[in-house]
Chains A and B, each alone.
Chain A
Amino acid sequence: MLEKLLRLVASGGVHSHAALAQELNVTGALLDQMIADLVRLGYLRPADASCPSRCEDCPLHETCGIGGGGRLWVLTERGERAARASGAGVSQADNR
């Protein structure tokens, strides 16, 4: 399940939380838990972790809450590697 989540995210672009939950056939709360685990393990990180300044100093602070409170996570390099590796594992299993 986690590797499928990583593969979906690694396909690029922005994925909505709701669309991912639907694709994985899980509830939003379970997806939250999975994301929290992937953050803890270093496969995802909160996007604002790399912001260069405090919110108050940032010209985007009105919008970065994404309309008021949305959260954004980004795939780390470790996450991309794991997604690629699991994608290769899936194709091998399919070819057997």
Chain B
Amino acid sequence: MSSALSLKRKAQVALLVVTSLGLFVPRVWAANPLDGVWSVNITIPQSPNSTLNQTLSVTMNVSPLGDSLVGRMTITDSQNRTVGGVWRQVGKRISITYELPCGDPSDTCATLVMLAKLKGDRLKAGQVIVMWDVPNDKDPALYQTSNGFFTGTRGQ
């Protein structure tokens, strides 16, 4: 009888531990994954030497992370041009990179590297690095770079 009670007690303790772990683990890993649709406003200089900024409003359709801890996305701009991008997430830290559309002669070609923190349904403290298609031996990147910022909210 006492043995049966002891077993029952152990089972209860085990259940409690498992339940606690179940509740605890998601909070540790917790940041929601980025995948889904995002409305993002990216503010960067208009051109490599410009002091004037432009704001690009894009929709990011983010696919889930793959086995390599990186994932794909599509980025559609206000002119309905869609390009591919890739992203990575470690905890709340997000990194996104893609090539700006540059088919038209008026386009200035560049690569964007975007870093942010994911908080709920918002991308916060978004930092943008622009690497222009302009060689520059004095820049550590060997190409001219600029800085910008971005914000994002989940949904269209």
Q: Do A and B bind each other?
A: no
Interface residues of A (CB under 8 A from B): none
Interface residues of B (CB under 8 A from A): none
